[in-house]
Structure 1
Amino acid sequence: MSFRERPVLVYDGDCGFCTASVRFLERRVPTSAEVVAFQFADLGSLGIDAEQASYEVVWVARDGRTYGGAQGIARLLVDAGKLWRPLGMVAMVPPFRWLAHGLYRLVANNRYRLPGGTPACALPPGQRPGSG
C-alpha cells in the first residue's frame, strides 16, 4: 500500500454544481487534503478510475484507501476537525450512514438541476461537450 503526504479529494471539474460545492467546502471546511478535479488528476496513481470519479466525489486517504460519495464527504469532515469531526463520525455509522448515502445519491443524480449545475452534468464524461 502506498502512503501519501496528504489525503486527496477528487471531484468532477466539468460539473458546475460540483465545482461550486467544492469551492464552498474550501472556504468553510478546513482540510489537509489536496482538492483536485479528476480531469487533472493522475487517477491511476490514486487508485480510482474516471467512471467512479464522474459518479461521485472520492476521498483518497493517506494510506491509499478510497471512500466514495457520502463516505468521502464524511472523511473530509473528520479530517477538518473541530465541529466538523463529530458530524463526519456520525455519517459513518448506521443508520446515519445509510441516510447520508441516500441524500448524497439524490443530490448527485440531480446535480444538473441544482444551482450551478449545467445540462453537461447529466451526461457521462465521454458525451460531454469538448470530450472528443
Structure 2
Amino acid sequence: MDHTFLYDGDCAFCTQSAQFLEKHVRTTAKVTPWQWADLDALGVTQDEAEAAVIWIEPGLTRAGPDAIAVLLRRAQWYWKPIGGVLSLKPVSWLAWPVYRLISRNRHKLPGGTAACSLPQAERDRLAGP
C-alpha cells in the first residue's frame, strides 16, 4: 500500500476518529497508529507524528487538516468535494486553528482520556519500564 494515514493510537478520541474513517471513508491508505508504524521508513519523525495526523504517499506528505483533505480527496466520490473545499487556501488557513484547538483539547472530547493530552515521552514515563 503506497498511502499511509498516521494518527495517535494512544489517544482514544483519535482512535475513535480513525475507526470512523476506516468504517465510513473508503480510502487507499493504511490507517495506522504512528506508534506502530516504521516512521523512519515513512520519512516522518516522532515529533511530526505527535504534532498532527499525517498523510504519506510517494512524493507527498501532509499534516493536520491538510492530511485530512488529501485523505478525503482519495476516498469515494462523495467525500472528494469535502476534501477539495478543505484544500482551498482560505479554508485550509481557517482549518489549522480549529485543528489545533481540537488537538489541544482532545482529552476533553467524547472518547478522550487524560493520556490524550500528554506527549509520548510523558506517556512512556508514566507507563514505566
Provide the TM-score with structure 2 as the length reference. 0.93
The residue that corresponds to 1:130 in the other structure is 127
1:28 and 2:24 equivalent?
yes
1:90 and 2:90 equivalent?
no
**Secondary structure in 1 matching 2:89:** coil
State the Cα distance separating 1:54 from its structure 2 match.
1.4
1:102 and 2:107 equivalent?
no
- Kindly tell me the number of residue pairs found equivalent between the two proteins: 127
Contact 1:9–1:36 (CA<8 Å) still a contact in 2? yes
Instruction: Map 1:18-97 onto structure 2 (within 5 A).
Output: 18-61=14-57, 63-97=58-92
- Take 1:67 and 1:115, find their aligned partners in 2: how far apart are those partners? 26
Provide the TM-score with structure 1 as the length reference. 0.91
The residue that corresponds to 1:117 in the other structure is 112
- Take 1:33 and 1:108, find their aligned partners in 2: how far apart are those partners? 22
After TM superposition, which residue ranges in structure 1, 4 or more long, deviate above 4 angstroms?
Answer: none
- Take 1:104 and 1:54, find their aligned partners in 2: how far apart are those partners? 14
State the Cα distance separating 1:100 from its structure 2 match.
1.6
Across the aligned residues of Structure 1 and Structure 2, the Cα RMSD in angstroms comes to 1.3
Percentage of identical aligned residues: 44
State the Cα distance separating 1:98 from its structure 2 match.
1.0
**Secondary structure in 2 matching 1:80:** coil
Gap runs ≥5 in structure 1: none
Q: Deviations over 1:42-69 (max 9, x none)?
A: 00011111111111100002x1421000
- Take 1:30 and 1:6, find their aligned partners in 2: how far apart are those partners? 15
- Supply the AA of the counterpart residue of 1:82: W
Gap runs ≥5 in structure 2: none
Q: Deviations over 1:55-104 (max 9, x none)?
A: 1100002x142100000000000000311101101111121111221221
